[in-house]
Amino acid sequence: MKDSGVASALPPGSTIGIIGGGQLGRMAAIAAARLGYRTHVYCPETDSPASHVAATTTVADYNDLDQLTAFAKSVDVVTFEFENIPVASVLHLSQSVAVRPSARVLEIAQDRSNEKRFFNGLGIGTAPWRDVLSADDLKTAVAALGRPSVLKTARMGYDGKGQIKIEADTDLDQAWADLNTDKAVLEGFVTFTGELSVIIARGLNGDSRCFDPVWNVHTRHILDTSTVPAPITPAQERSAIDIATRAAQALDLVGLLAVEMFLDQSGALLVNEMAPRPHNSGHWTIDACVTDQFEQFVRAVCGLPLGDPARHCDAVMTNLIGDDIERWRDILNKPNAKLHLYGKTEAREGRKMGHVTEVKPRSP
Ligand code: AMP
């Protein structure tokens, strides 16, 4: 084992293994390169966004133990840029190389039921919810939580995929059949006044730093804009940061954690979900913070001191989804706008092709 997880920093020149080849891995690899690290990406897709900027890429299945072994031997630490990796593969890697965050964090974060149980266990509120393993469970859960409510697959759901809204006239047998899963949760519908997220970094020595809470607007279940400062009260801001801090500590996190929350009509925060990696709602930090989320991620994973997450600008980040990418020339002509493209060739509907961050001087 190369690293027992003791608080020793990996020096620049070391190689960071990144599982997953999407835009989060791409931007993490760019940040790693800025600090003098090499990156080795592992993902099943060819021509992935991260592979364009990483020093090395292995294209292989997440279950391929031989390839995972070879990957572990070629890197100094392993992290991941998305959470739907088999836990067994991460445990396999953990036998020969430090994996940060740990397999336990992944196990909680990749299952909505585990995730909600985890937050509720810390006394942190979520929407009311029930485990659903069958159509009968769904009927019992709907009787308890009422309509509307939201049925979600426990695993592998993202951007609204794997979700069915249970309306007044929804047939529950049909909804269960349509979801096509063996494990789900039913959530009570939250009539929220807004959605927030907080991204926290936690280092090997337990030190943690939070970025400013962000105000997120979703369109058709996909993040559309993230705005800072968020239009919330100082007490709500403290509460959002406190939730993220307690979660990161309880997970013994090394890396980054994004916590998404609803602001309900009473002004209380309810956690929706978390992701133990850089997050779309943190892209604004590249252009508006002293240390951005990707550099902070690299620092945490490599055991370096965390950087200053202070925000020096106000910012609005807008995702460029599908055909939105055709606006790239206009965006380049806009003052105060920073364009970030992910190198994806095919602009499919709903696909995140890039983002733009508009900055303006920091409000007092
Ligand atoms: P998720 O995949 O859980 O992040 O859900 C995607 C989006 O669907 C959220 O950002 C919300 O806008 C909406 N949503 C999810 N769950 C609920 C809920 N229980 N009540 C109301 N809206 C929800």
* Per-10-residue mean pLDDT, the chain, length 364: 58 98 98 98 98 98 98 98 94 97 97 97 98 98 98 86 94 97 97 97 97 96 96 97 98 98 96 98 98 98 98 98 97 98 95 97 88
Whether 61 and 90 map to the same domain: the answer is yes
Q: 116 near 136, Cβ under 8 Å?
A: no
Atom of ligand 1 nearest to the CA of 158: 2
144 and 209, same domain (yes or no): no
The SS3 of residue 131 is strand
Same domain, 75 and 207: no
Q: Look at residue 267 in the predicted model and tell me its pLDDT.
A: 94
Could you identify the atom of ligand 1 that is nearest to the CA of residue 187?
A: 19
Cβ atoms of residues 10 and 303 within 8 Å: yes
Domain closes at, from 58, 82, 99: 99
User: Is 45 in the same domain as 142?
Assistant: no
Nearest CA to ligand 1 atom 7: 221
Q: What is the pLDDT of residue 158?
A: 74
Q: Look at residue 110 and tell me if it is in a domain.
A: no
Choose the final residue of a domain: 99, 118, 145. Answer: 99
- In a domain, residue 112? The reply is no
Q: DSSP per residue over 84-110, as a string?
A: -S-HHHHHHHHTTS-BSS-HHHHHHHT
Ligand 1 mutation target, pool 221, 224, 274, 319, most atoms within 8 A of CB: 221
Q: Quick one: which atom of ligand 1 is closest to the CA of 159?
A: 2
Evaluate whether residue 287 is within a structural domain. Answer: yes
Closest residue (by CA) to atom 13 of ligand 1? 221
Residue 210 makes CB contacts below 8 A (sequence gap 6+) with 198, 199, 200, 201, 241, 244, 245, 309
Alpha carbons within 13 A on the beta-carbon side of 287: 22
CA dist., res. 125 & res. 270, Å (int): 5
Q: Which residues contact 51 (CB under 8 A, 6 or more apart)?
A: 21, 41, 43, 57, 59
Q: What's the 261 CA to ligand 1 centre distance in angstroms?
A: 9
Residue whose CA is closest, atom 8 of ligand 1? 221
Report CA(163)–ligand 1 centroid distance (Å).
9
Same domain, 95 and 155: no
Last residue within a domain, chosen from 188, 212, 233: 188
The answer on 179 and 138 residing in a single domain is yes
Atom of ligand 1 nearest to the CA of 162: 2
Q: Is 261 within the bounds of a domain?
A: yes
Are residues 164 and 201 both part of a single domain?
no
Tell the residue nearest (CA) to atom 18 of ligand 1. 189
Ligand 1 atom with the smallest distance to the CA of 127 is: 19
Do both 327 and 221 map to the same domain? yes
CA of 136 to the centre of ligand 1 (A): 23
Domain boundaries, position 87: 15-99
Give how many domains the chain has, as a whole number: 3
Positions of E strands within 116-182: 129-132, 149-153, 163-166
Of 113, 150, 215, the one to substitute when testing ligand 1's pocket (max ligand atoms within 8 A of C-beta) is 150
Phi, psi for 129 (deg, rounded to 5): -150, 160
Query: Is 42 among the domain residues?
Result: yes
Q: Which residues line ligand 1 (CB under 6 A)?
A: 127, 150, 157, 160, 187, 189-190, 195, 218, 221, 272-273
At position 143, the amino acid (one-letter code) is A
The answer on 199 and 164 residing in a single domain is no
How many other CB atoms are found less than 10 A from the CB of residue 165? Answer: 13
Residue 183, domain CATH: 3.30.1490.20
What atom in ligand 1 is closest to the CA of residue 216?
Answer: 10
15 Cα to the center of ligand 1, angstroms: 37
Nearest atom within ligand 1 for CA of residue 112: 3
How much distance in Å is there from the Cα of 228 to the middle of ligand 1? 21
For the whole model, what pTM was predicted?
A: 0.96
Same-domain pairing of 74 and 176: no
Q: For ligand 1, atom 19, name the residue with the nearest CA.
A: 189
Amino acid at 213: P
